[in-house]
Copies of this chain bind each other. A is one copy, B any other.
Amino acid sequence: MQRISLAHGEGGELTHQLIQEIFIQSFGHLEQTQFDSAILTIPSQTIAVTTDSFVVKPIFFPGGNIGKLAITGTVNDLAVSGAIPHVITAGFMIEEGFSIKSLKEIVNTMAGEAERAGVNIIAGDTKVVEKGSVDGLFINTTGIGVMQEQQHRLKPEMVQEGDCVIISGTIGDHGVAILSARQELGLLTNVRSDCALLNHPVHELLEEIKGIRIMRDPTRGGLATTLVELCEDFHFTMEIDEASIPVRRDVQGVCDILGYDPLYLANEGKVVIIVDSNDKQKALDILKDHEVGKNASVIGQITSSHGQSGKLFLKTTVGTTRRLNRLSGQLLPRIC
């Protein structure tokens, strides 16, 4: 048995084998074999829940694969909400003919990332569709996290003028890695996706620093879209400084050639933090202690200038200031 067949998704003997030989092998016992749901006791009644579907193309790319994205993406969403990631469910939608070897590799990657993150994969589901009805493999992951105690939660209501905006590292790496991996573009770069777990540094930040106001991971839509959403959702104005935003030289090079803006390219292992300016250095120190945060940088601040609330401004390298909006129109489909 080397390829997935429709019968693997019918709920009968082959589905049973697939679950036993691939999923339970990697994920351990899925409680769904005894009941139709996983049943568990969680450490608190206040929880965070997030869901994400992954349709990245190609499925394997420099720096990761769809399974790594699925686990890190969901873990990171929980972490930046101020929750400790606890359990994850995984739904697989597979094209008939998909390589079982590739599926095993993806599932193993997921198991490894889940272990590193400290989460259990507790329930799964597999559907198989005819050739041509899905492009290879889509994965949905839903995560449940347990909220940290009140004093260690985010405090968006405390945001004030002068608060600093920090990004944990270079932007646009994931977007460019995916672009490069789509060979039809004929690009040759060494850029790898930044796809990585953020829950450990984020947890440390929340435990150690009282002045953390808001965190968000700037994935689809990039840093600019994420910051616009923050400005709108929480009704403040932010100014970021183009010169201080870390961008790899090769990422900038690809963007210059193809006309992309790194501010709008997806990241899969970065966090944006709004923090009390008195805690700025402490936050940078904690981030730089972790591999994923070694290029952390202060990139802007909450301001009351420009006389407007809910807006994002960019101070450009040539000294002008312009307003940034959400990503609009088509940029890069199937980036995650």
How many copies of this protein are present in the complex?
Answer: 2
In the A-B complex, list the 9 residue pairs whose CB atoms are closest, starting with the nearest: A12-B327, A11-B220, A11-B221, A140-B140, A51-B89, A142-B142, A37-B48, A37-B50, A133-B135
Q: Which residues of chain B are within 8 angstroms of A330 by Cβ–Cβ distance? A: 5-7, 10
Q: Which residues of chain B are within 8 angstroms of A229 by Cβ–Cβ distance? A: 16, 33
- A145 to B35: give the CA distance in the assembly, Å: 13
A interface residues, Cβ below 8 angstroms from B: 5-7, 9-16, 32-55, 57, 76-78, 80-83, 87, 89-93, 122-125, 127-130, 132-135, 138, 140, 142-145, 147, 154, 156, 216-217, 219-221, 225, 229, 233, 264, 266, 325-335
Find out whether the CB atom of A129 lies under 8 angstroms from the CB atom of B135: yes
Least CB separation from A140: chain B residue: B140
Find out whether the CB atom of A39 lies under 8 angstroms from the CB atom of B233: no
- A320 to B132: give the CA distance in the assembly, Å: 44
Q: Which residues of chain B are within 8 angstroms of A156 by Cβ–Cβ distance? A: 34
Find out whether the CB atom of A93 lies under 8 angstroms from the CB atom of B93: yes
- A40 to B93: give the CA distance in the assembly, Å: 29
- A293 to B97: give the CA distance in the assembly, Å: 40
Q: Known A55-B127, A127-B55, A140-B53; judge A36-B328 contact (CB<8 A).
A: no
Q: Which residues of chain B are within 8 angstroms of A233 by Cβ–Cβ distance? A: 33-34
Q: Which residues of chain B are within 8 angstroms of A123 by Cβ–Cβ distance? A: 49-51
CB distance from A195 to the nearest CB of B (A): 16
Least CB separation from A9: chain B residue: B333
Q: List 26 A-B contacts (CB under 8 A).
A: A7-B328, A10-B220, A10-B330, A11-B266, A12-B221, A13-B327, A15-B220, A34-B233, A36-B76, A36-B78, A36-B81, A42-B45, A43-B45, A44-B45, A45-B45, A50-B89, A53-B127, A55-B134, A91-B142, A93-B138, A129-B135, A130-B334, A132-B135, A140-B142, A142-B142, A144-B144
